[in-house]
Structure 1
Amino acid sequence: MQASGSAPVQATQADKERLYERIDNLKGTSKLSASFLQETKTVIMNLESAAVVTRVGALVDGLYEHAQRIPCSYADTPVSLAETIEAVKVFWKDLWKEGQRDLAYPRSGQ
């Protein structure tokens, strides 16, 4: 836990870009739309806390684990399209929560 009044360690632009690139790499396998990717990029690039970026990285790991169970086509797959849609919805909901949590952190210079 942080000391009262201390600003969190700031995330680097490079860390946020790497995190977004990992999600972008899933667009074909997980059928991620351009609008989903743009909204996700906006949230990630606006994160300031390194701790939040790390937690979002864990969310991305979960998407990767799900994507690894998807073969090249959805026919004959143990993972249905509905399951993938639900996994992406859960990811977005959790990403949004982390973005809100990040906004609640005290900022340097404030």
Structure 2
Amino acid sequence: MNWRYTNKIDNRKSFHSISGQMICDADCLVSNVEAKWPGSVHDSRIFRASPIYEGLSQGTFSGVLMGDKGYACESFLLTPLADPQTPAQHAYNHAHNRTRARIEMTFGLLKS
């Protein structure tokens, strides 16, 4: 199982930035990086234009990715529920957040 998340190189001081998309596993092993889009491009646009998206949507690749709420839920891309109501839905969101934390950790490791 892979986890996916995008992170923008900060643009708080009006510097140009690029958006980075990375896929890693539970051991923080990076299997894909896409870093060629301007920082103004939305994360979901970058994903939809990626070879990973194409391969997953056409069935060439198998697997499931996890993304944040900025992405549309797909059969191969799990996103958190917007308004969880039941204990099972709350448990799903909790598990999703804990699992997705690995990509945050991986970005942190790379930045350090």
TM-score, normalised with respect to structure 1: 0.32
Q: Compare the two structures and name the one with the higher strand fraction.
A: 2
Q: Compare the two structures and name the one with the higher helix fraction.
A: 1
TM-score, normalised with respect to structure 2: 0.31
Say which one has the larger Rg: 1
Larger RCO (alpha carbons 8 Å, 6+ apart): 1
